[in-house]
Amino acid sequence: MKKFLIVGLGNIGEKYNNTRHNIGFKIADAFVKEHEGSFETEKLGDIAKLKIKGKTVIVLKPNTYMNLSGKAVKYWMQKENIQVENLLIITDDLNIDFGKIRIKGKGSSGGHNGLKDIQDKFNTGAYPRFRFGVGAEYSKGRQVDYVLGKWSAEEESAMIERIPFSVKAVTSFITAGLANTMNEFNGK
């Protein structure tokens, strides 16, 4: 039986709730709810264990803060004996227009500290990732304030459609594979 690890990146704590940087947590929460699961706090994060079409799916929201996400990802991959091709990291991306998604099987960190830490822990950028576009509507030097800022009212209303669409893409990764999911969901 195949096992998958779906990781939503974000920062723990009330002050980070509903910020752009926490879109990974938001999508992970919606995915677990859609599949009628729930999270339990375990080592290095909150974990939900699901069964989807005969596959075991572990969903992780690391409690290590974004910049140290690699430790939690590596621990759970080893603990559950999950192959890297069955890992999916969900994160925000400033270089993609708001609400658009890009799924790839490998790549660089793109300056994202969470992805950079995962790459450092694995010594490779060859792992699947799901990037949710948060846009780049900030003035020079204000990048950190922007990603740690709350969603605008316009973005919030668009989330009603974009979150379920993202959940469908994550489910497709598990049931239809990376290539089919990229073909169906990228850039939409």
What's the CA gap between 34 and 27, in Å, rounded?
Answer: 10
Q: Show Cβ contacts of residue 73 under 8 Å, excluding neighbours closer than 6 positions.
A: 5, 7, 60, 62, 87, 89, 118, 121
First to last CA, the chain: 31
Residues with a catalytic annotation lie at 21
146 has binding-site annotation: no
How many other C-beta atoms can be found within 10 angstroms of the C-beta atom of residue 96? 18
Beta bridge partners of 92: 132
16 has binding-site annotation: yes
18 has binding-site annotation: no
List residues forming the annotated binding site. Answer: 16, 65, 67, 113
List residues forming the annotated binding site for tRNA. Answer: 16, 65, 67, 113
